[in-house]
């Protein structure tokens, strides 16, 4: 099975997205902060949970 590579980059204020669940919003904010801090947030993720685990959430 091929792995997907996801690079996280958020260019807009994601807190203005009312349809996002609080847990997902928290994960996206954390990924965005890590990206801006120069941390590696690219990798093989099959779900938002895998991304959260990678980021240590």
Domain ranges of the chain: 5-55
What is the pLDDT at residue 15? 52
pLDDT, tens digit, 9 for 90 and up, residues 1-57 = 455 555 555 555 555 555 767 777 777 777 778 777 877 776 556 666 777 777 676
Q: CA 43, CA 56: separation in Å to the nearest integer?
A: 14
Listed residue (53, 56, 57, 45) closest to 8, CA to CA: 45
Listed residue (9, 6, 4) closest to 35, CA to CA: 9
């Amino acid at each position: 099975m091929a792995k997907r590579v996801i690079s996280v980059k958020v260019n807009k204020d994601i807190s203005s997205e009312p349809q996002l669940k609080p847990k997902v919003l928290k994960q996206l904010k954390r990924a965005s902060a890590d990206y801006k801090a120069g941390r590696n947030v690219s990798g093989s993720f099959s779900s938002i949970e895998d991304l959260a685990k990678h980021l240590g959430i």
